Amino acid sequence: MHPFVTVIDWVAVAVFAISGALVASRKEMDIVGFGLIACMTGIGGGTLRDVLLDRPVFWTVDPTPMVICLVSALLVFFTAHIVDRRYPYLLWADAVGVAIYGVMGAELARLEGAGMLVSVVMGVMTATFGGLIRDVVCNETPLILRKEVYVTCAALAAATHVGLSAIGVPAVYAAGAGIALGFGLRALGIWKGLSLPAYKSRPGREY
């Protein structure tokens, strides 16, 4: 694996693991619960990606991501009480993870020979599945079901990276652009409540 891919993979794992541990702190779980939720969040999306791409699941080949999740959970367990309002930190940690994982999932799919559309879809799955597991297990309203843009941010990050890579932009710059745009859109969603137009029900026609 390219060193660049490995680095962003570990960063994304850490950020998502922290977001999972922050949810565990809100639910007042014990240290084992912290570790479990951190691992589910940190490696859940990447696990789904690797299974669908029929490649070895990344944390079974190299346990470093699992170690990162557990260390992140331990750190949050002993420091979460310092932060009075933890939910905003959860949102921002998740926003960073969505942008990074959107790019990283798409890049790994590209390296496996997937087409552009499949690569973008894999990026979206990688970015959102771990958070979905976290919220469902912890009985929280999944972030992907909230009004603000969320899945769109992962799709933008992945599509930007795939598109720029396709025209010959070096991977590092393509990834940087994808992460910046994905995170920027999610930041607007958090700050301004930015959302896509929603369906509005209308009275049925009488025939």
CA distance 199 to 201: 7
* The predicted structure's pLDDT at residue 132: 93
Could you read off the pLDDT tens digit of each residue along the chain, which spans 207 residues? 567 667 877 888 999 999 999 999 989 999 999 999 999 999 999 999 999 999 999 999 999 999 999 999 999 999 988 876 777 888 898 899 999 999 999 999 999 999 999 999 999 999 999 999 999 999 988 888 877 899 999 999 999 999 999 999 998 899 999 999 999 999 999 998 888 888 887 776 766
Q: Return the DSSP state at 27.
A: T
CA distance 84 to 107: 37
Which two tokens mark 2?
């390219």
CA distances from 176 to 158, 170, 182 (A): 11, 10, 10
CA distance 98 to 151: 8
* The predicted structure's pLDDT at residue 113: 93
The closest of 113, 108, 102 to 158, measured between CA atoms, is 102
